[in-house]
Structure 1
Amino acid sequence: MIKKQLIMEKALELFAEKGFESTSVQQITEHCGISKGAFYLSFKSKDELILALIDYFMMKFVSDIDYLVNNTKNDDDLLQKFYYTIFDSFRQHSDFAKILIKEQMRSFNEEFIIKMRAYDLSMDEVILSMVERLYGDEVKQTKHDVMYCIKGFMKTYSELFLFYDLPLDLDLLARSLVEKTNVLARHITVPFITTELVQMRQQPTNGEATKNQILEIIEKNINEIEESIEKESLLLLKQQLIEPTLSPALVNGLLENIRSHPHCKWISYLLRNYFKS
């Protein structure tokens, strides 16, 4: 296992048990069985470690949901799959979500706030594209309100996983929220979120990376993974960015090759959006 990954996984165990503030670098290194020097070769501080954890989980979360929305062909299944996947992810990563909520409540770290805002805006784009696809002109004036309602459902119902140890039927929960969302989408008549409000709120997101930024991430991923079909696909995608020669079908095939690799989820998301634009 890569040392950086080991530190993140072991630190997460301690953060879940003791909380972020009460966990020291000394405790993390002891839990990992490494020296402090080895820790500081990977992370400059505990704050940098928590930001790396946020990147690790949020990149996976946003890219997985984006892939689901863009690759579910049947509109009748899309919303239920969306909700099921969201809450299944909350259930699997509840320890991290609890830490994230605590950090958001106490943090005045500007980098943390900017990072979380960027991921939030990326998620907004995914949800909005789903709303437009499912409801079309029916929500032309209210689509942003519907998007915020969906985010409200995500936040509120996630508390059942985070604060209460309840046995939950994810399929039933997803079907229940589909029904609620359909009612809201088809009966909201007084929009609150105006175009002006949206424009005031929006800032460039992680998903709006430049070609040079994407190339840097690809290069980093290439150096991190061993020889494999994913590495070969990354090399071809890098060349496609520099000098486009491949057909869209072949590009999609290469993106599919890298999508499930743990080091490639975010670059897969960025490339899908880049080639789509």
Structure 2
Amino acid sequence: MKEKEIAIIEASIKLFAKKGFDSTSIQEIATECNISKGAFYLYFKSKESLLLAIFEYYYHQIKSRLEALEDKNLTPRQLFVEQLAGQLDEVQRHKEFIIMQTREHAIPFNNEVANFIKIMRIQTQQFFQNALLSIYGETIRPYVVDLTLMLLGIINSYFELIIFNKSDVHLNYLARFILKRMDSLVEGFKASDEVPIVTTNPFGVSPETHELGKDGLLELLSQAILEHKLAGDLRISLEVLESEIKSDTPRTPVIQGMLATLNHENSLAELQEKIAGYFKIKLL
């Protein structure tokens, strides 16, 4: 992303947090960035496309930081603490982004923005679910979804404390504190014979098989189109795949043919394998 695009994004986040999305004009954003209104359109075609760019920028800032930690030689518990502390720090550093979303009850999202937000939420849920499985092992799989929901509830409450109450919290201590609470919850589940509340996974991953379901595949397809900004034949191939997966009677020869068109696109190799695995199709 270009330096000027980042400057426009960061300036607009502050304006949206202060005035609201609807009440902030493109001219005000341009003035804040010391550029002309015409120059704004060199980077973003509309205020709505800027809004999508804001979500993408914020999400990839966090994602890159968390992925970098995976290169360290950490135990699952250490990695979780470092990654959670990193997320809390990003929330603290980008308070305006969160305030931008909560200032108004409804930002007029277009389909692209709404879809991207949905992807962010699902991937965040999957991230924490996988982290819990890494820490506590397969014994928690029957109730891992309930544990994930509880963990998200705890984290979101502390997010609000950090953002709106301006509390001075030691983030690594808070991350360790939250993990210890999860230790207690896990032990409670193990000692109980209660049936889990959530028996089907709302996160796009099956808790029994850890394989992507249909909804998960569709989310990955949407994400690939958005993240890679694909055009031409590749975009058409993904859109055809999306249509076939949505169908009640998907045509496996069509899916196999579309997957073959992705053979030389390394960034889509994992998606290609997941779709092939789901439909039990041999890649050409």
TM-score (normalised: structure 2): 0.68
> Which structure shows the higher helix fraction?
1
Deviation at 1:210, TM superposition (A): 5.9
Structure 1 letter corresponding to 2:125: D
Deviation at 1:92, TM superposition (A): 1.0
Superimposed CA distance per residue, residues 85-139 of structure 1 (whole angstroms, 9 cap, x where no aligned partner): 2211111111111112346644453332211001111122222221111111221
CA RMSD of aligned residues (A): 3.5
Structure 2 letter corresponding to 1:149: M
SS at match of 1:157: helix
Aligned position for 2:76: 75
Number of paired residues? 230
Aligned position for 2:200: 195
SS at match of 1:195: coil
Contact 2:145 2:201 in 1 (8 A): no
CA spacing shift, 1:158–1:120, aligned 2, 3 Å? same
CA spacing shift, 1:140–1:190, aligned 2, 3 Å? same
Q: How does 1:147-226 map to 2 (within 5 A)?
A: 147-188=148-189, 189-195=194-200, 202-203=215-216, 204-206=218-220, 216=230
Report the structure number with the largest CA radius of gyration: 2
Out of 8-17 and 81-90, give the one that drifted further. Answer: 8-17
Out of 104-113 and 6-15, give the one that drifted further. Answer: 104-113
CA spacing shift, 1:155–1:19, aligned 2, 3 Å? same
CA spacing shift, 1:243–1:160, aligned 2, 3 Å? closer
Deviation at 1:16, TM superposition (A): 2.9
Structure 2 unaligned blocks of 5 or more = 205-212, 232-262, 275-284
Aligned position for 1:252: none
CA spacing shift, 1:178–1:243, aligned 2, 3 Å? closer
Q: How does 1:1-277 map to 2 (within 5 A)?
A: 2-68=3-69, 71=72, 73-102=74-103, 105-107=106-108, 109-188=110-189, 189-195=194-200, 202-203=215-216, 204-206=218-220, 216=230, 242=264
In 1, Cα distance between the equivalents of 2:167 and 2:107? 27
Structure 1 unaligned blocks of 5 or more = 218-240, 245-266
Identity between Structure 1 and Structure 2 (%):
26
Contact 1:153 1:177 in 2 (8 A): yes
Contact 1:119 1:205 in 2 (8 A): no
Contact 1:25 1:46 in 2 (8 A): yes
Larger relative contact order, structure 1 or 2 (CA cutoff 8 Å, min sep 6): 1
Structure 1 letter corresponding to 2:44: F
CA spacing shift, 1:72–1:5, aligned 2, 3 Å? same
Deviation at 1:15, TM superposition (A): 2.1
Contact 2:126 2:203 in 1 (8 A): no
TM-score (normalised: structure 1): 0.70
Superimposed CA distance per residue, residues 24-68 of structure 1 (whole angstroms, 9 cap, x where no aligned partner): 111111111212111112212112111110110012223433453
In 2, Cα distance between the equivalents of 1:44 and 1:187? 53
